[in-house]
Structure 1
């Protein structure tokens, strides 16, 4: 049976994301990943030249997962803004895993310009998602960029609080907070300060 090399690359990257979410980027060595995958280190380096390339590939997979969740929520319930916003915060096991991995990548990006550039690109996609949501409720002539920036900051701050204090930030409270944040962003877009 032929080996599906793209699937194997994807599987290795997914395993790397899982390890990063559990233990951080430093734990995700080629040797540990190979051991966990049941491969030799040579098998891993056959697909990825080094850890940097593996991390970059893993981040792309991680970002694609988040994009897909948002897009699926928009397709399933096009008018449900809250469902789309919930895909952006760590309220369920899938999103918690993604956010824990994101935090590790952000930490690494503070010292790695290549990874920082990738994260900036991913953040740009996130901003576009927020713009899409705001455009559903704000007149097209209004500048929504400050509102999207504020909403992004609120979502990121909320996500951090959810990760460190999940008992306080139950699903109902998160939904209410996101709904309030979205309404504040709309107000900001409709009534900008001079």
Structure 2
């Protein structure tokens, strides 16, 4: 009886292998041969599912985008539905800050996509992820404004852009070893302390 091959699962294996190679070794090392080896298959087997390296990278960047965007959207929902807005805000921002290995991987994936978009091999995927990120920061600042927790006269749109730039910058510094994760968290907390009008204790 012929062996039944789960083609969807096999394709996913190659995409997962490409993700690992990209995040570990860089986009240039994500060749057909290297990705096939990472997945434990031959280059010929990989070519049954992907025409060439560009086709493989397009699938890998879509996978990175979908996974990272889904996580970001989950954080956005937590801000909108959280019982304590200040705590939900901090938790959502910590979820996208490179404080441990899983979050470092998400942050690294974003940087890979941003780099790819500069040469137009992932511009669409990068824009989709940017949209998800913008929603997170805009949701945070608008929710804070509606709860009168932003300083009087503070523009939620401008504050969202500032917060976005801060977190992206911190992730770059953490991933390149210039700032420790605990120091990055303190910088974020200091920013939030100045941005949010925390209620006075009774």
Q: TM-score, normalised by structure 1?
A: 0.79
Which residue of the other structure, out of 113, 126, 136, is the alignment partner of 1:129?
136
RMSD: 2.8
Gaps spanning 5+ residues in structure 1: where?
188-194
1:143 is displaced (CA, Å) by 5.5
Provide the residue aligned with 1:96 in structure 2: 104
Stretch of structure 1 that moved more, 23-32 or 143-152: 143-152
The structure having more radius of gyration, on CA atoms, is 2
Distance 1:41 1:139, change over 3 A: same
1:155 is displaced (CA, Å) by 0.8
1:25 is displaced (CA, Å) by 0.4
Residues 25-174 of structure 1 mapped to structure 2, 5 A cutoff? 25-73=27-75, 74-75=77-78, 78=82, 79=84, 80-112=88-120, 114-139=121-146, 144-165=156-177, 168-171=179-182, 173-174=183-184
User: Once the two structures are superposed, what CA deviation does each residue of 1:23-43 show, in whole Å capped at 9, x if it has no partner?
Assistant: 100001011111121212222
Provide the residue aligned with 2:200 in structure 1: none
Gaps spanning 5+ residues in structure 2: where?
148-153, 198-202
Q: Distance in 1 between matches of 2:193 and 2:66?
A: 27
Q: Distance in 2 between matches of 1:64 and 1:92?
A: 20
